Amino acid sequence: MDLIPFYVDLIPFPKKSMDADMKYKMNPEPPLPPHYMEVLIEEEELRIRVQDLAREVTENLGERDPIIVCVLKGAFVFVADLVRKLDFPFSIDFLRASSYGNSVVTSGEVKLDLDLQQSISNRHVLVVEDIVDTGLTVQYLKASLDARGPASISICSLLHKPANNVKLAPVDYCGFEIPNDFVVGYGLDWQGYYRNLPFIAQVHQT
């Protein structure tokens, strides 16, 4: 794996699966409880899958002048990579929903902290999320956007933890189904840290 210079101490471990399962440490370490991290999805796997998703999105929305809605903050890296693989007309808008606070366990509450700037009335909307866990956020967003009279709404999520769904989340485009573990990287954070990792890693508290 190629690492940018301030990532140090990446130690390859005996491999469980192809090219995954490497331990990772940042230096200096962020001010978080004791933990270690294992790479779950490598940079190259992400790149390939994002390209596939872009192809699927193009097939369905390529002639529909959609609005792509980036759900902040977690989806910003994924959206940046996804949209650069799209070569049809679309616009981008942002909203921010929060459900977690600083905890790794969902509070079950969703609120809209930042709303879209443009109207989605009669427009095709693609909501892009980093991860669907309990499904509460996506369900809330879909209902909230549905009420504004869009032509259609579809949901694209890089990651999906099916084990935790309390709401049947309507994910139309899903990058990877992952186990029910807390993950960081590629936009996803733990107390604000690790969004910059170019891969997805599992966090193990020690």
Interface residues with ligand IMP (CB under 6 A)?
74, 99-100, 106, 129-137, 182-184, 188
- Residue 92 CA to residue 113 CA, distance in Å, equals 18
Return the number of the residue (45 or 130) whose C-beta is nearest Mg ion: 130
**How many angstroms separate the Cα of 200 from the Cα of each of 57, 110, 114, 139, 182?**
22, 24, 26, 24, 10
- With CB under 5 to 8 Å by kind, the binding choice for 154 among ligand IMP, Mg ion, none is none
| Catalytic residue annotation | 133
48 contact partners, CB below 8 Å, separation of at least 6: none
Min separation Cβ 47 and Mg ion, Å: 21
Other CB atoms within a 10 A radius of the CB of residue 15 amount to: 10
Q: Does 74 bind Mg ion (CB under 5 A)?
A: yes
**Any bridge partners for residue 186, and if so which?**
none
- With CB under 5 to 8 Å by kind, the binding choice for 135 among Mg ion, ligand IMP, none is ligand IMP
Min separation Cβ 187 and Mg ion, Å: 8
Q: Encoding tokens for residue 118? A: 């443009």
Return the number of the residue (137 or 202) whose C-beta is nearest Mg ion: 137
Q: Encoding tokens for residue 61? A: 């929305």
Return the number of the residue (55 or 111) whose C-beta is nearest ligand IMP: 111
Chain residues binding Mg ion by CB under 5 A are 74, 130
